[in-house]
Amino acid sequence: MSQILHVTINGTSKEIAIEPDEILLDILRREGYKGVKRGCKEGTCGTCTILLNDKAVKSCILLAAQTENCSIITIEGIGTRDNPHPIQQAFVDEGVVQCGFCIPGMILSAKNLLDNNPSPTKDEVKMALDGNLCRCTGYSGQIKAVLAAAAVMRGEK
């Protein structure tokens, strides 16, 4: 039997009809948040990463019903083409976006890190991106991009 889920997505309050067994990933994509990517669907690749109450989580291993009254941020909520978030800009500047499939999740994991630790070490960035797999790159550029974004966000660049 369907139920109504009350959530805030990217700052907008929503009431969404869901089935009790639906996972959050599928609900978000159905609602049009296609930046939430469907990869492994078993919690290992990180392409479905979102911020749930400001914490990076994998939306494929959460029931939508578990997010009642929560705040959700997807990649659509953190920047636009004309006004990108500093992390998005740094990924572009460093040239580390290839196919792009992993990038939304990776940027949200990086945002989660920088919101809590504005001056991370390289190892701390590595740890933060540990759950986000990329088939195209060697990760070093993305780590460099996060460190560059951190400097911009600290007002140093």
Q: Which stretch binds ligand FES (CB under 6 A): 1-9, 37-45, 78-86, 109-117?
A: 37-45
Between residues 57 and 147, which has the closer beta carbon with respect to ligand FES?
57
Q: Are 90 and 152 in contact (CB under 8 A)?
A: yes
Residue 64 sits in the site that holds ligand FES (CB under 6 A): no
Q: Which stretch binds ligand FES (CB under 6 A): 11-19, 41-49, 76-84, 87-95?
A: 41-49
Instruction: Please state, as a whole number, how many other Cβ atoms lie within 10 Å of the Cβ of residue 36.
Output: 25
Between residues 4 and 99, which has the closer beta carbon with respect to ligand FES?
99
Residue 29's Cβ-side half-sphere holds a number of Cα atoms within 13 Å equal to 16
Query: What's the length of the chain?
Result: 157
**Tokens at 66, concatenated:** 């578990």
Residue 43 sits in the site that holds ligand FES (CB under 6 A): yes
Q: Which stretch binds ligand FES (CB under 6 A): 14-22, 46-54, 83-91, 120-128?
A: 46-54
CA 48 to chain centre: 7
Residue 117 sits in the site that holds ligand FES (CB under 6 A): no
Residue 71's Cβ-side half-sphere holds a number of Cα atoms within 13 Å equal to 7
Q: Which residues bind ligand FES (CB under 6 A)?
A: 38-41, 43-48, 58, 60, 97-102, 134-137
